[in-house]
Amino acid sequence: MHTFLCGHAEGRPVDYVDAARASGVDLVTFTCHCPMTPDSLFGGRGIRMSLRQLPKYRKIVEKARVYGESVGVRVLCGIEAEIFPHPKAMASMKTVIEEQEFDFVLGSLHHQLGGYHDWLDEMELVEDADVIRTYFKGLVSGIKSGVYDSIAHPDVIRIYGTVDPFPPEDYRGEIEEFLDTLVEHDHCMEVNTSGLIKWLYEIHPAPVILDWAAERGVKLTMGSDAHSPDQVGQHFDAVREMLRKKGFQMIHYFEKRKRIEVPL
């Protein structure tokens, strides 16, 4: 879940807690976008909070945590961090994450960022196939970095216009390498229900990718990627039943960076 500090979400954190309670969700984790510099690469205030706003982020999430205790909703504080081909920025981000001692760190490769498009141009990656393969290799490097707890919306490259939409089967080899790396490093992958309200109107990752993940025993986290209170827990019931039918039995969350397993 996000907060208004990212510049493209709305509502107070306590409103998200109320929405969670109304939806029957008894544990939530805020994962607003991590501060990143320079703005020319990472989008600035319309995309993420600044470093000087981090104390305010912790304060409003703590207020939501205290409020959540009174209404039966546990509130944890995480961050959505970047996977990005810029070693200096990644090193700085890692320092911020370590200093803040978050409960949970999501890793996201936001291919739609202008800075990522500039990097693709510098690398002379123009053809869709090359861009898609590079994207999944980026996710693999993110897993191996040890910075993140779960990889967010792993097939988001299929939307937002960087490449034409594609069936996952066309890149099964690259996607299975990503899934195998998750297993090898005992890493989680996020099931992100917001995909059902965007572009292709399909879960992230796509159902067929979840089939391949189930065959391998990939561990899952699940999030609604809520940018407004009405999106908290969106489609959770339907997605939970879908995951059961695919053979998943457990789901995971993180507290103080420790993975905790609960039955679906």
pLDDT at 38: 94
Mean pLDDT by 10 residues, the chain (264 residues): 97 98 97 96 95 98 98 98 97 97 98 97 98 98 98 98 98 98 98 95 97 98 98 97 98 98 96
Cα gap 166→202, rounded to integer Å: 12
pLDDT at 189: 98
pLDDT at 41: 94
**Distance linking the first and last C-alpha atoms of the chain:** 20
pLDDT at 12: 96
pTM of the predicted model as reported, rounded to 2 decimal places = 0.97
pLDDT at 208: 98
pLDDT at 106: 98
Cα gap 23→128, rounded to integer Å: 40
The residue ranges of every structural domain in the chain are 4-263
**Residue among 31, 39, 88 nearest 221 (CA):** 31
CATH number of 4-263: 3.20.20.140
- 82, 110 Cβ separation under 8 angstroms: yes
Q: Give me the long-range contacts of 96-102 (CB less than 8 A, separation at least 24).
A: 96/34, 96/35, 96/51, 96/54, 97/34, 97/147, 100/54, 100/58, 101/256, 102/77, 102/78, 102/257
